[in-house]
Amino acid sequence: MGNDPDTSDVFASTISKEHDILIGVLYSVFCILSLLGNCILLLVAYHKRSTLKPAEFFIINLSISDLGMTISLFPLAIPSSFSHRWLFGEITCQLYAMCGVLFGLCSLTNLTALSAVCCLKVCFPNHGSKFSWSHARLLVVGVWCYASVFAVGPLAQWGHYSPEPYGTACCIDWHAPNHELSALSYIICLFFFCYALPCAIIFLSYTFILLTVRGSRQAVQQHVSPHTKTNNAHALIVKLSVSVCIGFLGAWSPYAAVAMWAAFGDATRVPPDAFAIAAAFAKSSTIYNPVVYLLCKPNFRECLYKDTTMLRQRIYRGSPQSDPKERFGPTSQRNRDLSTTHLSNGQQDSCGACPLCAENAELHHANSPKRTACILTGSTYREVTVSELSGTPQADSL
């Protein structure tokens, strides 16, 4: 984990220690929220997998890529920020940068595919109705292959990976285009095919959806305010997808602007703090998808509520400190109270409200001492229980 002497200056932080600590705290918060949110979203999606729509498969894939970024980047970036330098050497720096590019581009390309599918379903329903799970799987595989080409490129000497200008993380070498033609071509292709083109497709897709909805009342009735649950789900997916796209692009746009400034402008004039702040915004993109879908999608909320309720009940019932009589909850206790009456001596007698209560009452009477009385009938005494007195003719008894 140590650094070579000739690279120690490269991996030293170029921003103040206070700013590094602040970034480390932010990364820690992002890491916890991203782990919880994306894991819960994947768990909910697994439980309702039989009712998922093909378009929702992209939401699951987005959570997988966000979770991959969280697991591969934050455990390295957090201790480096608190230590005020990159701690993990040159090889790990290359892998760190590759994972950041891979999962970041996968998320953006995934949102691009999702916007195109939503546009197909709303604007071209005859073709959109034919979109199936097999098509969704093929698109997801294409998303990962597309992102992998640009992530592996610098490892094959098409572009370069290097420490970030602020020193405690690694990414693409944005200074290389100033003196290398291959690095310049990589940055140009990356900017066009992995930022400008996806953003244009996302913008045009949701613009066409908006025009279709506003321009035709028939389209509104058939595709946005439908009479079937399936089309209702599609309309909700469109709204939530717009929210996720706005959050994702809002998080990555500052980093893209700073990177283009360094790549095509005077790289020496870009302050390291600008890169550090932009990188923090970019890493916050991992928390938007689960927040939007868990809070705003009704069937995801209902499934999450059922799962948490069931988990609480299992934990409560499995607790050794819990009272067995209280494990059945207030409803069972109320039924037990309604099914019993009290005699004047404080004992309980069953009123036969349910078989379980009646059985317990019979067992209680069988084991408890019985109060008896002597009845004089004519010249003969006989002993009966108190419960039988009501059935004995009062005129013949003393």
Instruction: Collapse the DSSP code of 162 into the 3-class scheme (helix H, G, I; strand E, B; otherwise coil) and give the result.
Output: strand
> 297 pLDDT band (50/70/90 cuts)?
low
Report the range of poorest mean pLDDT among 37-46, 201-210, 327-336: 327-336
> Nearest CA to 81 among 24, 40, 120?
24
Cβ-count burial 209-230 (b if 16+ within 10 Å, e if not): beebbeeeeebeeebbeeeeee
> Nearest CA to 234 among 125, 121, 114, 116?
121
> 88 pLDDT band (50/70/90 cuts)?
very high
pTM over 0.85: no
Give whichever of 19-23, 218-222, 317-321, 363-367 has the largest mean pLDDT.
Answer: 19-23
CB neighbourhood size of 140 (10 A): 20
Cα dist. 360→229, 322, 377 in Å?
48, 22, 35
Contact of 88 with 80, CB cutoff 8 Å: yes
pLDDT digits (tens, 9 = 90+) for 139-197: 999 999 999 999 999 999 898 999 998 989 999 998 887 778 888 899 999 999 999 99
pLDDT digits (tens, 9 = 90+) for 104-126: 999 999 999 988 998 888 888 88
CB neighbourhood size of 20 (10 A): 22
Mind listing the domains of the chain with CATH numbers?
5-311 (1.20.1070.10), 331-342+349-392 (no CATH)
Mean of the pLDDT values across residues 7-20?
A: 84
Residue the block writes with tokens 């084991």 = 367
Higher pLDDT, 107 or 306: 107
Residues 183 and 154: their CA atoms lie apart, in Å, by 9
Contact of 223 with 125, CB cutoff 8 Å: yes
Average pLDDT, the chain: 77
Higher pLDDT, 51 or 278: 278
pLDDT at 245: 85
Percent of the chain at pLDDT above 90? 36
Give whichever of 69-73, 155-159, 209-213 has the largest mean pLDDT.
Answer: 69-73
Mean of the pLDDT values across residues 248-270?
A: 86
